[in-house]
Amino acid sequence: MRRALSYTVVGLAVLIWRMWPGLTSIRLPDFPHGYYSNGEWSTHCKVIKHDETFNYCEDAIFWDHLDRSGKLKDRQVLISCDPGRKQWNTVMGPLLDPKPHGGLWVYSPGKGKGKESKPKRLSLKGYPKGHDFHPLGMDIFPSHNGNASNLFVVNHARQRTFVEQFSLAPHEPTEAVWIRTLDSTYFVSPNNIALTSPTSFYVTNDHLMTRRLPKPFGNVLPIMESLLTLPLTWVSHITVNENAKTKSMIVEHAFAAFGIPFSNGIAISPNGKHVAVSSSSLSKVYFYTRDPENNKLTFTHAVPLPFSPDNLMFDDEGILIASGHPHFISLVAVGANKTDAVAPSWVASISPREQLGGKAALSQEYDTLAPVSASTKVRAVPSHEVETLFQSNGSFFSTSATGLRDSKTGALYVTGLYEEGLLVCAP
Ligand SMILES: *[C@@H]1O[C@H](CO)[C@@H](O)[C@H](O)[C@H]1NC(C)=O
Ligand SMILES: *[C@@H]1O[C@H](CO)[C@@H](O)[C@H](O)[C@H]1NC(C)=O
Ligand SMILES: *[C@@H]1O[C@H](CO)[C@@H](O)[C@H](O)[C@H]1NC(C)=O
């Protein structure tokens, strides 16, 4: 009896400890209307809007055009949007109607010279009729000397989640040519992609138990998996064998990392030696060293964040930009289409201390300029320093999902899962 009791107490303690990041974010902190780390937000930040199909964007990536010598010539932004997300969201629910499709967009910041450039929607040439398109995470290989780039996009289709392969050429940047649909039994709930070559990539699986499970399991188990921060998800490495003899041999699968609670975003550092994976339920980013020979990953650090990180990207300097949701309860309310629900945004940089030179000292007093400092929510760690780049209570820009920083111009691009348009802040 006594033993059973002590087991229960220990069990509860572990449970509460595991749920801690979720529990501490019940109270909504006093976020500002807007905050940008490189200037007054109201003059340095603007939201680029188009029409209602350029809403509810999840991922954004840079599409680099390199010249013959490998030098950066042009950099465009590709964006995945799904205005039907409130009817179809296989990660958070609901699963009401998969019919209204999402789309891919290209935005050329350099073009226009003073005139505002407009985002353009890609046509999906050759895309199979009747195949739903709900884009989520994606990645593209840079174009070299004008050649076409391979683009891989996670697609939350009706029956399953697939990865779609497209080809996109700089001379026709608004026409993505569909190549094939990739499927695998290991694609339980693919979320985001990081390319390791033009034909291979890492892909995160955000849940083991998904919304697609039959009722009532699909309504309960994925939520339990998230709330209890169960470490049941993984990162796969996929090689596409374009010359495979049979269809089932096209996708070659290998596990790259296991035991991550709610793995969501993934990114590879510019030198190819580090990989970062966000754990949304644990509010941490996991860092791994990567062996470029065989794509094996070795865990090195976990960095706690003051929000549930969504997508990740490294800038050209190797600093990780994480974007996410500081108040999960409001995000769920927005996703459920509750009247007047608003969810805040938080974007931060995560810099390796060794790279910060003189500023490297570990202090628990950090991120001192942000209206809501990260230091009020998480302790500093020896390996990395966290600094707020953008914050909003959601009235200016809500539900930040991806933050991209262009080290060449300093510009910061942010998507909002349930927001209109694309946020651009520039120093
Ligand atoms: C955000 O802050 C602004 C300025 O203080 C305020 O007017 C607005 O109501 C706030 N929005 C939310 C959702 O709290
Ligand atoms: C969300 O609510 C608005 C009105 O508040 C309504 O027009 C819209 O159809 C709702 N969307 C869904 C998916 O329920
Ligand atoms: C484009 O060129 C680069 C560099 O030569 C090469 O790595 C890549 O595979 C090429 N892409 C395609 C789609 O052929």
Number of the ligand 2 atom closest to the C-alpha atom of 337: 1
Residue 373: pLDDT over 90: yes
**% of the chain at pLDDT higher than 90:** 86
Decide whether any atom of ligand 3 lies within 6 Å of the 147 Cβ.
Answer: yes
Whole-structure pTM value: 0.94
Q: What separation in Å is there between the alpha carbon of 330 and the centre of ligand 1?
A: 14
Number of the ligand 1 atom closest to the C-alpha atom of 394: 13
pLDDT tens digits, one per residue of 238-281 = 999 999 888 889 999 999 999 999 999 999 999 999 999 999 99
Q: What 3-state class would DSSP assign to 334? A: helix
Decide whether any atom of ligand 3 lies within 6 Å of the 38 Cβ.
Answer: no
pLDDT tens digits, one per residue of 40-71 = 999 999 999 999 999 999 999 999 999 999 99
Q: Where are the domains of the chain?
A: 2-350+386-425
Q: Whose CA is nearest to atom 5 of ligand 1?
A: 33
Domain 2-350+386-425 has CATH 2.120.10.30: yes
Decide whether any atom of ligand 3 lies within 6 Å of the 150 Cβ.
Answer: yes
The residue whose two tokens read 């509010």 is 283
Average pLDDT, the chain: 93
Q: What separation in Å is there between the alpha carbon of 396 and the centre of ligand 2?
A: 21
Q: What separation in Å is there between the alpha carbon of 41 and the centre of ligand 1?
A: 14
How high is the pLDDT of residue 247? 84
How high is the pLDDT of residue 360? 62
Residues with CB under 6 A from ligand 2: 86-87, 337, 339
Under the banding of pLDDT at 50, 70 and 90, the label for residue 9 is low
How high is the pLDDT of residue 16? 61
Output the CA torsion 292→298→304→310 (10° steps).
50
Q: What angle do CA 52, 56, 62 make, to 5 degrees?
A: 105
> Which of 321, 206, 212 lies closest to 264 in space, CA to CA?
206
Q: DSSP letters along 345-384, please?
A: EEEEEEEEGGGGGGGG---SS---SSSS-GGGTS---SSE
Mean pLDDT of 179-193: 97
Say if residues 184 and 238 touch (Cβ distance below 8 Å): yes
pLDDT tens digits, one per residue of 130-173 = 999 999 999 999 999 999 999 999 999 999 999 999 999 999 99
